Structure 1
Amino acid sequence: MMFQEIAFKAEMDRHNDPESVEEARILCDEEPATRQRNIEELRRMIYERGECTPPRTDDSFLLRFLRARRSVPARAHRLMVRYCNFREQNPHLWRDQDWFSYTRMGNVYEGVLFDRPDVGRLIICRLGLWDPDQISAEDLVSACLLLLEVGIMQPKLQVLGGTALVDCEGITMKHVRHISPSIALQAINVMGFAFPLHQRGVHVINCSRVFETLFHFFKRLAPADDLWKRVHFHGYNLNSLHRFIHPDCLPKRYGGLRDEVSLELWLTKIKQYKNKDFDTDMRTLGYCVD
């Protein structure tokens, strides 16, 4: 429990760890000598091209987009445009949302606070625990967006990125009927197509062929993105999952060694340890701050 509390406190850390310099070089092609020049180039593109109006243009905000696109300003700018367009087209997912209210999701979303270079932050979505009668599909997407917006504030996670594990155990046709093409497109955008996330991979477990077929239908909504190359289906085969995610990083239910943390507990701890900088960041993004 002591380690977990230290990990929760670290969620508010906004400092660039000197030890992450080498990780940023390997994972993000980030060189200390050219980092500031790339930030300034991205900022110039935003102002000169006028294709988007970001909520912020300070160095730390722009850097997360560069890290998500291998430190290439032109690619980071395209991602920024997608991000801003997504926010403009879906203001109901974030504007004036009470971020702490998403504790009602319980264990639908979980994470493992054991971040390492080959996996990053492991985020788990247990779709079978979602009750569509109580929580709308858009609320599910909105909660995921919140989880990522808070997580990506941490420089370490900007570098390490994240790995998603989608657990389909317990999914019924009732769930599937609520996943419309528009909801699927929102989820695709949040998972990396229009979000500054260094996406390490998406792994789907406990899924039938029916769900896999449905996925390939939704894939046509954004056919050209590299994200699809990192999506892997494992059926009910944990050994297949372990070839991509080491058991050191997985919860015990997936043959791993870690304890998972629910979104409910994570947000409760965020509220306990948050500070003025966190409130300012959330307010700037449009969330309701108490």
Structure 2
Amino acid sequence: MGDIDTWTFQEIAFRAEMDRHDDPESEKEAWILCGEDPATRMRNIVELRNMIYERGECHPHRMDDAFLLKFLRARRSVPARAHRLLVRYSNFRDQNPHLWRDVDWFGLTKLGHVFEGVLFDRPDVGRLIICRLGQWDPDDYPVEDLIRGCLLLLEIGIMQPKLQVLGGTALLDCEGLTMRHMRHFSPAIAIQAMNVMGFAFPLHQRGVHVINCSRVFETLFHFFKRLAPVDDLWKRVRFHGYDLSSLHKCIDPECLPKRYGGHRQEVSLEKWLTKIKQYKNKDFDNDMRTLGYAVD
């Protein structure tokens, strides 16, 4: 594929990031990946909404069908499980308003290549999201901005019905990570990161893969794990050390950037947000404003 073809494909993919329509052809994937049946979809939404009113455990900022469907899709279309997730999400928002409220979302382009993605979404991987912690300079911006950046990436991502169904796979690259970085990760920050990873976020999390990591990092990870809720997500965390062949057993190189022995071109958060701003519309602005972000 030539440079012009690659550029054209990326521009089409960037435009598609604003797509808010359910594709009828994706109903089979929704059934396989989310247990979603068009015949019972509306009934499940109504049941979830009734649970929210009857139990009174949370007060979501939205209650419309499209919003509630995100939580159902993230929990195999089971209203009770979706309700538990929605309670976690709502509590997380209430406890951490600074991660959303009046945040200049476009200002997070400063994170550069700390977060990257691959705009090649497959049913077995979903959207591949890469976090390169070693690219972060703690002197430039606080660790809270890392949480804000990851959260923003996910909030915008799940506006797409396609990604609500396909979900995502996380790749945590620890190359360049030192104690200079690690000393900023307090238990409170670690819990915030785990919540964003999937404990309290309506993302169909396909897996979390850690590469270029030492035993020290793995030990710290398991320490923080004890502070988090018991969840099936832990079964999908894999440590690969420095072994790319181990990573390839879990993620097809067809979906990976060349840096990891793959065939794809990664897109930095900086470039992605720049393109989002270029192609955004009134619906996007309204959604962002409702979430609490500053919208010009």
Matches of residues 104-123 of structure 1 in structure 2 within 5 Å?
104-123=110-129
Match among 49, 54, 62 for residue 55 of structure 2: 49
Matches of residues 164-183 of structure 1 in structure 2 within 5 Å?
164-183=170-189
The corresponding residue for 1:287 is 293
Question: What is the rounded CA distance, in whole Å, between the counterparts of 1:170 and 1:193 in structure 2?
Answer: 27
Q: Alignment partner of 2:246: what SS?
A: helix
Shift of 1:55: 1.1
The corresponding residue for 1:189 is 195
Structure 1 stretches of 4+ moved >4 Å = none
The corresponding residue for 1:32 is 38
Match among 214, 234, 241 for residue 240 of structure 2: 234
Question: What is the rounded CA distance, in whole Å, between the counterparts of 2:130 and 2:207 in structure 1?
Answer: 12
Question: What is the rounded CA distance, in whole Å, between the counterparts of 1:223 and 1:195 in structure 2?
Answer: 13
Question: What is the rounded CA distance, in whole Å, between the counterparts of 1:222 and 1:176 in structure 2?
Answer: 18
Question: Structure 1, residues 197-219: CA drift from partner, whole Å, max 9, x if none?
Answer: 00000000000000000000000
Shift of 1:223: 4.3
The corresponding residue for 2:280 is 274
Question: What is the rounded CA distance, in whole Å, between the counterparts of 1:137 and 1:164 in structure 2?
Answer: 19
Question: What is the rounded CA distance, in whole Å, between the counterparts of 2:93 and 2:103 in structure 1?
Answer: 13
The corresponding residue for 1:74 is 80
Question: What is the rounded CA distance, in whole Å, between the counterparts of 1:76 and 1:166 in structure 2?
Answer: 27
Matched AA of 2:240: H
The corresponding residue for 2:155 is 149
1:263 aligns with 2:263: no
Matched AA of 2:21: H
The corresponding residue for 1:14 is 20
The corresponding residue for 2:3 is none
Q: Alignment partner of 1:204: what SS?
A: strand
Question: Structure 1, residues 61-83: CA drift from partner, whole Å, max 9, x if none?
Answer: 00000000000000000000000
Shift of 1:133: 1.0
Q: Alignment partner of 2:283: what SS?
A: helix
The corresponding residue for 1:134 is 140
Q: TM-score, normalised by structure 2?
A: 0.97
The corresponding residue for 2:99 is 93
Report % sequence identity. 80
Q: Alignment partner of 1:19: what SS?
A: helix
1:203 aligns with 2:209: yes
Shift of 1:49: 1.0
Question: Structure 1, residues 248-269: CA drift from partner, whole Å, max 9, x if none?
Answer: 0000000000000000000000
Q: Alignment partner of 1:33: what SS?
A: coil
Shift of 1:221: 1.2
- Runs of 5+ consecutive residues of structure 1 not aligned to the other structure: none
Question: What is the rounded CA distance, in whole Å, between the counterparts of 1:69 and 1:223 in structure 2?
Answer: 16
Matched AA of 2:221: F
- Runs of 5+ consecutive residues of structure 2 not aligned to the other structure: 1-6
Q: TM-score, normalised by structure 1?
A: 0.99
Q: Alignment partner of 2:195: what SS?
A: helix
RMSD (Å), alpha carbons: 0.5
Question: Structure 1, residues 67-125: CA drift from partner, whole Å, max 9, x if none?
Answer: 00000000000000000000000001110101100000000000000000000000000
Question: What is the rounded CA distance, in whole Å, between the counterparts of 1:109 and 1:166 in structure 2?
Answer: 10
1:162 aligns with 2:168: yes
Matched AA of 1:138: E
